[in-house]
Amino acid sequence: MTPFLKWVRKNPAVKFCIIFIAGIFAGSYSFIPIYISLSIPLVLFILFFKFKNSFLTALIIFSCGFLKSNIDFFLTGSDNVSRIPDSEKFEYTLSGVVSSVISKNEEATKFIIDSKYIYNSSDSLSINGKVLVNLFKGKFSNEEIKIPDIKENYYIKITGRFNSPLPYRNPGDFDYAKYLEINGIRKIITSNNPQSISILNNSYNNNFFSNLIYSTRDYSDKVINYYYSGDNKGFIEGLVTGQRDDISKETKTNFINTGIMHILAVSGFNVAIVLVFILVSLSLFRFKRHHAMIVAIPFLIFYCFYTTMAPSIIRATLMGVLVIIGFLIERRLEFYNIVAFSAILILAADAKQLFDAGFILSYAAVISMVFVYDNVFKITEKKLSKYNFTNNKIFRWCFTFILISISAIIGTLPVSAYFFDKIPVVSIIANILAVPLANFILISSFLQIIFSTFSAFLSSSIAYLNNFLLNHFFNAIDYIANIKYAFIYFYKFDVFNILIYYVILILLITATKINLFKRIIFASMIIIFAITINSLNTNENKLTVLNYFESDIILMRGDNGKTILVYEGDKFRNIKNKLIPYLQSEGINKIDVLIFSGIEINEGVINEFKTGIQIGEIYAPYHNNFNYNQIGAGDVITIDNSSSLFITRPFRNEISDVNFIYKNREDEFVYSNDGMKFNCKFFNPENTGALIFNESKSGLLISNQK
């Protein structure tokens, strides 16, 4: 029997987990009527009792994953909130129980409710399902009216605009609607009036366990809010309670660019700290270890609920409980079996978690830490042990920590590239700084919350130290994140490339001296195959319409590589943060012709474009002191031999939006952002054929499909 088959036999849960995940993945893309998808595993289960073979077992697990995925992704009850039509310009009134407070300040509060009723003028309808609530101060910003202090377990009623989350509008955009769907949210209610909300009951789920969780979390929030502010507050909230929405966007970006975003995930170290604290505390009362372990299990489960049950903490809690059970029954449990079994339990509860970034990063990190370290770095560490300098315990601890960090980075690189479109080059340096500090802050924050119950002096002393450390830490991370080449943009790293990466990683890491050369040759062939497939999948659009912050952007590309971009609108904040990254992701390093429409050009606007891309000729229909070319109705810009841009309006020196006709071999496009009021003097409608109108937020795209 080969080593691989021995490993599979030793870790059966891994095999079952992979098959179950395959079923979920398939079920998320294709729906089968429930009576069919339910009957398939039942029939297979009956056949299994008669024939009992491994193939039937695999089919049963796959069909169960498929069924679970179909239920979670496609089926909703008749009273589910997602079936309620959007209110559009009107307002709906909903009531529900606050399940999670995401963020709150004087200007806005964001929280999630488990909906109960929807009301009209004379009646109410019972509903269920999660709804995201956005409550803003709005027009009352200069008055004494304040947003109510919303807390978990409050039963509230709110009136506002009730709509489905908007899908992503542009290629490469973050799909916020999909993110909310993964978290079970399919509707959003928004209000700009603090008086639109009323608290009906401040303790809806009145049971001991719920009240204990809410009161404990509320007390922790009060302590953290009293001693910390800004990013310091958000960082400690993220470590202790799992709420990280109060961290500023700039700091989150720095964390992503340096590869340390994972430290905000409540995970294994948190569980380990809780477990050690419980065991040490119980040992003071002379509890036997077995009894202490049994008592620790409900505490771990309580902590999981306390931290809002993020995927990483559920995984860590399940693994911790399984390890304790293994200890109690005096049986050694295999690490990979524990990991796989915990994943099966999470996905069996909610199949949508398979597509959650936190779930994927959590498992990628913990598996790679063990797999890469055991197969590569542990061997290296043993070989170095013959040298005297490794006898130093502090050095050995630091050296092991660095190796484990590198192992985690190796395993999460493709996932980071997939979700964030970038690979942090300085990740190792940043993690060496961030991980020990985060662990220290976590322990000290736990102690601070405990000490605050009986000693304000001890609590404030810890807060002073934490604030001092965090202020310097954020400055250091900001400096590292802004180093040139601190990260590399890595676009279009899809699921196919992720699988290729992990296959090559496993091939090379598990290689021996005997088969190393063969493995390298095989891995090289896989890389060549992947490059070939990726090159075949390049589908360059000749014309792309984007919309960022009510600004229309039209991108045209010719066969000769020439690029023309028309920018319409007066919102410039999207250029550096949205448009430039998109152009870079498409492999565009230069705009040959840049046309401004409806805005005045200044040096600041041009510099926004030049932050990451070269600019060729600049055109606008008006003239000022800035150096650019004028353009007007009747002008033609040639892109290549088969495509050109024909300006229909405005006339020269007229500050107005540019309308044009774009032609290539296959299509004709007419762009008019004011409803087809182009100058017909330069346009013959008889040449357009059948017009297909595609309406963007502020313009019309008309296509002649030949």
**Cα–Cα distance for residue pair 699/512, rounded to 1 Å:** 61
Please give the share of the chain, as a percent, with pLDDT higher than 90: 21
Amino acid identity, residue 321?
V
More confident residue, 160 or 543: 160
Confidence of residue 654 (pLDDT cuts 50, 70, 90): low
Mean per-residue pLDDT, 585-608: 77
Question: pLDDT tens digits for 407-462?
Answer: 888 888 888 888 888 888 888 888 888 888 888 898 899 899 999 999 889 999 99
Amino acid identity, residue 14?
V
pLDDT value at residue 386: 63
DSSP string, 149-188: ---TT-EEEEEEEEEPPPPP-STT---HHHHHHHTTEEEE
Cross-strand bridge partners of residue 603:
none
pLDDT value at residue 463: 93
pLDDT value at residue 653: 66
Lowest mean pLDDT: which of 183-187, 266-270, 293-297? 266-270
Closest to 15 measured CA to CA, from 47, 49, 53, 62: 62
Mean per-residue pLDDT, 365-379: 80
Note whether 16 and 340 are within 8 A (CB). Answer: yes
pLDDT value at residue 90: 83
Backbone angles phi, psi at 515, to 5 degrees: -110, 10
**Cα–Cα distance for residue pair 229/106, rounded to 1 Å:** 14
Mean per-residue pLDDT, 463-475: 93
Confidence of residue 625 (pLDDT cuts 50, 70, 90): low
Cross-strand bridge partners of residue 291:
none
pLDDT value at residue 188: 94
Residue with tokens 């150096």: 627
Please give the share of the chain, as a percent, with pLDDT higher than 70: 87
Mean per-residue pLDDT, 319-335: 82
Taking 60 as the threshold, does the pLDDT of residue 222 lie above it? yes
3-state secondary structure at position 660: strand
Burial level of 484, CB count in 10 A (0-12/13-18/19+)? Answer: exposed
**Cα–Cα distance for residue pair 595/297, rounded to 1 Å:** 64
Cα-Cα-Cα-Cα dihedral sign, residues 645, 631, 693, 177? positive
Taking 60 as the threshold, does the pLDDT of residue 674 lie above it? no
3-state secondary structure at position 103: strand
Question: pLDDT tens digits for 522-543?
Answer: 999 999 998 888 877 665 567 7
Confidence of residue 678 (pLDDT cuts 50, 70, 90): very low
The class that CATH gives domain 543-705 is alpha beta
Closest to 54 measured CA to CA, from 19, 23, 30: 19
Lowest mean pLDDT: which of 140-144, 312-316, 482-486, 575-579? 140-144
**Cα–Cα distance for residue pair 40/118, rounded to 1 Å:** 38
Residue with tokens 């498992």: 363
Taking 80 as the threshold, does the pLDDT of residue 667 lie above it? no
How, if at all, do strands 92-104 and 155-163 pair?
A: antiparallel
Closest to 538 measured CA to CA, from 580, 487, 489, 491: 491
Average pLDDT, the chain: 81
Q: How far is CA 608 from CA 479, 572, 579, 614, 653, in A?
A: 22, 8, 10, 11, 24
Confidence of residue 60 (pLDDT cuts 50, 70, 90): very high
pLDDT value at residue 694: 39
Amino acid identity, residue 123?
D
**Cα–Cα distance for residue pair 495/657, rounded to 1 Å:** 41
Taking 50 as the threshold, does the pLDDT of residue 257 lie above it? yes
Mean per-residue pLDDT, 255-273: 81
Mean per-residue pLDDT, 612-622: 80
Note whether 164 and 186 are within 8 A (CB). Answer: yes
Note whether 87 and 130 are within 8 A (CB). Answer: no
Exposure pattern of 97-128 as b/e (b: 16+ CB <10 Å)?
Answer: bbbbbbebeeeebbbbbbbbebeeeeeeeebe
3-state secondary structure at position 373: helix
Burial level of 305, CB count in 10 A (0-12/13-18/19+)? Answer: middle
Mean per-residue pLDDT, 548-567: 79
Mean per-residue pLDDT, 619-628: 68
pLDDT value at residue 627: 66
**Cα–Cα distance for residue pair 662/667, rounded to 1 Å:** 8
pLDDT value at residue 25: 93
| Token pair belonging to 172 | 């490469």
Homologous superfamily of 81-206: Nucleic acid-binding proteins (2.40.50.140)
pLDDT value at residue 549: 65
3-state secondary structure at position 684: coil
Of the ranges 223-237, 313-327, 383-397, 482-496, the best mean pLDDT one: 223-237
Taking 50 as the threshold, does the pLDDT of residue 641 lie above it? yes
Confidence of residue 673 (pLDDT cuts 50, 70, 90): low
Mean per-residue pLDDT, 263-286: 81
Nearest 5°: the CA angle 353, 358, 360 is 70
| Token pair belonging to 677 | 């009021």
Helical segments of 329-377, H only: 335-349, 357-372
Taking 50 as the threshold, does the pLDDT of residue 517 lie above it? yes
